[in-house]
Structure 1
Amino acid sequence: MRLSALPAFEDNYVWVLDEGHGALVVDPGDATPVLAAAAEGLAPAAVLVTHHHADHCGGVPALLERFPGLPVFAPEDARIALDCEHVGDGARLRLAGMDVEVLAVPGHTRSHLAFRTGDVLFCGDALFSLGCGRMFEGTPAQMHASLRRLAALPGHTRICCGHEYTLANAAFALAVEPDNPALARRRDEAAALRRAGRSTLPARLEDELACNPFLRCDVPAVRAAAERRLGRPPEDAVEVFAVLRAWKDGFGA
Structure 2
Amino acid sequence: MLTVLAVPAFQDNYLWLIHDGRHAVVVDPGDATPILAALNAHQLSLAAILLTHHHADHVGGVPDLLANFHVPVFGPRHEAIPQITDPLSEGESITIPELSLTLDVLDVPGHTKGHIAYIAPRQQWLFCGDTLFAGGCGRLFEGTPEQMVDSLSKLAALPDATQVYCSHEYTLSNLRFAREVEPDNIALNARIRAEQAKRDCGLPTIPSTIGLERSTNPFLRFHEPAIAERLIALNHLSSREPIAVFTALRQWKNSYR
**Which category of TM-score, normalised to the shorter sequence, fits these structures?**
over 0.9
Task: Answer yes or no: is the 8 Å Cα contact 2:17–2:24 preserved in 1.
Answer: yes
* Residue number in structure 1 paired with 2:34: 33
For the residues of structure 2 that align with 1:75 and 1:210, how far apart are their CA atoms?
30
The one-letter code sitting in structure 2 at the alignment partner of 1:65 is: A
Task: Extract structure 1 runs of 4+ deviating beyond 4 A.
Answer: 229-233
Percent identity reads: 47
| 1:231 positional shift | 6.5
- What is the total number of aligned residue pairs between the two structures? 251
The separation in 1 between residues aligned to 2:131 and 2:57, in whole angstroms, is 14
Aligned pairs for 1:56-67 within 5 A: 56-67=58-69
Match of residue 245 from structure 1: 250
CA drift at 1:232: 5.8
Deviations 1:91-139 (A, max 9, x none): 1101121110010000000000000103000000000000000000111
Question: Is contact 2:237–2:244 with CA below 8 Å preserved after alignment?
Answer: no
- The one-letter amino acid of 2:129's match is G
Alignment of 1:63-212 (within 5 A): 63-67=65-69, 69-77=70-78, 79-95=80-96, 96-118=99-121, 119-212=124-217
User: Which secondary structure does the structure 1 equivalent of 2:173 belong to?
Assistant: helix
Secondary structure of 1:207's aligned partner = helix
Identify if the C-alpha distance between structure 1 residues 93 and 249 changes in structure 2 by more than 3 Å, giving closer, same or farther. Answer: same
Compared CA separation, residues 232 and 107, structure 1 to 2 (3 A): closer
Write the distance in 1 (CA, Å) between the matches of 2:244 and 2:162: 27
**Structure 1: how far apart are the matches of 2:217 and 2:247?**
15
**Aligned residues of 2:237 and 2:245 also touching (Cα < 8 A):** no
Check whether the contact 2:129–2:166 (CA below 8 A) recurs between aligned residues. Answer: yes
Deviations 1:9-60 (A, max 9, x none): 0000101112456222100000111100111212221111000000001101
Which runs of no fewer than 5 residues in structure 2 stay unpaired?
A: none
- What amino acid is the match of 1:93? I
Superposition TM-score, scaled by structure 1 size? 0.95
- Secondary structure, aligned partner of 2:219: helix
Equivalent position amino acid for 1:241 in 2: F
- TM-score, scaled relative to structure 2: 0.94
Structure 1 gap segments, 5+ residues each: none
Distance in 2 between residues matched to 1:192 and 1:35, nearest whole Å: 30
